[in-house]
């Protein structure tokens, strides 16, 4: 009988969250207001996320789920103990920028914020969990948006560099895996969340987006430079919202449409991984009349300080067509896509495609030949707990098992280099796309509804013990 295939020795199994979706305590211990705080649940959420509707502070008549979320700020020891019980090797989390610099442009950081994350990282190490830290997971202090216009301003480079220097210095020896920006390609689709952008009537929106993107790309190189200087053990990654684009048919126009969609997706990672702007992007800017202001020093930074590894989120593949008459769409993580008739969909219309993950892994590996890290993957579902808070989430287990097998095949049969895997929302949290709590991803159920009501009690789902066995067996238990 042949030995069961496993994952590489030292593979980093774990889970992922984001500060704005789980911490709550939005004004505790000196924390300042951030863009992620003022995005309400409901019909107005998406216009604010896309920057078309302005909301610079809390307004009457709205519920803002990030204000309290699941209150991990006060409960992180309980939550990390549960992650430790599952056997996590790594835990991906993010820094709330406005906890460290409440306004964003101060010269000195907020000690209470620094201490919170120091305590959290030490708690992780107590259980042998390596923190994987996203420096900016859509967070931007509101003061920087109101005063400077968010990432459209070059001044943001100074503020971000100060944040990074502070983090790398304070947490040297506690954190060695860093991500500069979460889903950096999301800036084109969710510019308020991605870069703190709001637009004026008549403004060249695409020009503003790409200028802001350039500033973030330069900031990413500055962070990589600093990280390596302060601690040579640091590993810095980029992060994109990934998912292969399939042509709708074998028609060459459809193949070309899919290729263009993929290029738009990989544009940012091309720069962060290769160190220069691709020609296809420059030509697109020429056609669209976009002029991105950049200096020779910027270009040198991009060239000299590329990332060490590539991380990405994967929830679904996508479909593209060159025929404007083909319009039937499905939902998916802000990205709209044509419907794929060969795939099943989740309760939120996200199409489920485990083989698409293997295809995506191979595409990224072939394109860059850099180590990869899957930092988001999971199934959002409406879990129904029993009276003890237990959820028999076999559907989640099936989803994750299929994707883990696809990863295993990509490693063992295709030879891709994959460092680790963190499932999204390892504990139930607020959905970034919808602001809902009922869209649950976790191994741990949190008693909280869409209106923020509930005890916040944590309880293990069926998937908790299943994932514990996956980690203990290094993936061999997945049939």
Task: Give catalytic residue positions.
Answer: 376
- HSE-CB for 28 with a 13 A CA cutoff: 17
Q: Rounded to whole angstroms, how far apart are CA atoms 39 and 340?
A: 31
Cβ atoms of residues 187 and 209 within 8 Å:
yes
* Encoded tokens for 335: 């990205």
Query: Of the candidates 332, 301, 303, which has an alpha carbon nearest to the alpha carbon of residue 319?
Result: 332
Distance of CA 324 to the CA centre of its chain: 31
Looking at the DSSP assignment, which residues form a beta bridge with residue 367?
none
| Count of residues in the chain | 479
Number of other residues whose CB lies within 10 A of the CB of residue 291: 11
What residues contact residue 91 under an 8 Å CB cut-off, 6+ apart?
Answer: 14, 15, 16, 17, 80, 83, 124, 129, 130, 131, 132, 422, 426
In order of 101, 172, 382, 430, 443, the CA distances from 104 in angstroms are 5, 22, 37, 24, 34
* Phi and psi angles of residue 217, each rounded to the nearest 5 degrees, phi first: -65, -45
Q: Rounded to whole angstroms, how far apart are CA atoms 308 and 178?
A: 10
- HSE-CB for 369 with a 13 A CA cutoff: 1
What residues contact residue 251 under an 8 Å CB cut-off, 6+ apart?
Answer: 322, 323
The DSSP bridge pattern shows strands 344-345 and 351-352 to be antiparallel
Q: Rounded to whole angstroms, how far apart are CA atoms 290 and 468?
A: 50
- 131 CB burial (10 A radius; 0-12, 13-18, 19+): buried
- HSE-CB for 424 with a 13 A CA cutoff: 23
H or E element: which one contains 313? strand 309-314
Looking at the DSSP assignment, which residues form a beta bridge with residue 329?
338
Q: Rounded to whole angstroms, how far apart are CA atoms 262 and 269?
A: 11
Burial 302-313 (b: 16+ CB within 10 A, else e): beebbbbbbbbb
Tokens 């001044």 -> residue: 155
* Encoded tokens for 28: 């505790």
Distance of CA 447 to the CA centre of its chain: 24
Q: Rounded to whole angstroms, how far apart are CA atoms 411 and 426?
A: 23
């Amino acid at each position: 009988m042949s030995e069961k295939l496993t994952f590489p020795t030292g593979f980093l199994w774990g889970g992922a969250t984001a500060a704005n979706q789980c911490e709550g305590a939005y004004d505790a211990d000196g924390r300042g207001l951030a863009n992620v705080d003022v995005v309400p649940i409901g019909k107005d959420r998406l216009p604010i996320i896309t920057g078309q509707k302005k909301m610079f502070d809390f307004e009457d008549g709205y519920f803002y789920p990030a204000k309290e979320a699941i209150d991990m700020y006060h409960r992180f020891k309980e939550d990390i103990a549960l992650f430790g019980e599952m056997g996590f090797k790594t835990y991906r989390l993010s820094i709330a920028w406005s906890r460290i610099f409440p306004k964003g442009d101060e010269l000195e950081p907020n000690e209470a914020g620094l201490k919170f994350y120091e305590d959290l990282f030490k708690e992780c190490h107590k259980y042998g969990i390596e923190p994987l830290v996203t420096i900016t997971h859509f967070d931007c202090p509101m003061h920087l948006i109101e005063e400077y216009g968010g990432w459209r301003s070059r001044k943001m480079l100074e503020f971000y560099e100060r944040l990074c220097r502070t983090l790398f210095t304070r947490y040297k020896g506690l954190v060695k895996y860093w991500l500069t920006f979460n889903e950096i390609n999301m800036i084109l689709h969710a510019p308020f969340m991605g870069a703190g952008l709001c637009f004026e009537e008549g403004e060249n929106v695409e020009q503003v987006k790409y200028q802001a993107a350039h500033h973030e790309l330069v900031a990413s190189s500055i962070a990589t430079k600093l990280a390596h200087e302060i601690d040579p053990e640091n590993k810095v990654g980029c992060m994109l919202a990934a998912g292969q684009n399939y042509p709708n048919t074998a028609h060459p126009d459809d193949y070309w449409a899919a290729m263009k969609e993929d290029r738009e997706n990989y544009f940012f990672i091309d720069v962060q991984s290769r160190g220069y702007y691709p020609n296809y992007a420059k030509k697109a800017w020429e056609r669209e009349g976009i002029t991105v202001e950049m200096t020779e020093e910027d270009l040198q930074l991009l060239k000299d300080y590329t990332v060490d590894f590539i991380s990405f989120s994967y929830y679904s593949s996508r479909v593209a067509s060159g025929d404007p008459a083909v319009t039937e769409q499905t939902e998916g993580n802000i990205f709209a896509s044509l419907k794929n008739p060969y795939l099943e969909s989740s309760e939120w219309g996200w199409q489920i495609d485990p083989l698409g993950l293997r295809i995506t892994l191979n595409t990224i590996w072939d394109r860059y030949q850099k180590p990869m890290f899957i930092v988001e993957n999971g199934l959002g579902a409406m879990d129904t707990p029993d009276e003890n808070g237990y959820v028999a989430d076999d559907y989640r287990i099936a989803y994750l098992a299929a994707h883990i097998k696809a990863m295993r095949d990509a490693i063992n049969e295709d030879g891709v280099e994959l460092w680790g895997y963190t499932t999204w929302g390892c504990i139930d949290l607020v959905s970034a796309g919808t602001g809902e709590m009922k869209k649950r991803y976790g191994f741990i159920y949190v008693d909280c509804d869409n209106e923020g009501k509930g005890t916040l009690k944590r309880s293990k789902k069926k998937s908790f013990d299943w994932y514990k066995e996956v980690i203990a067996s290094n993936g061999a238990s997945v049939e």
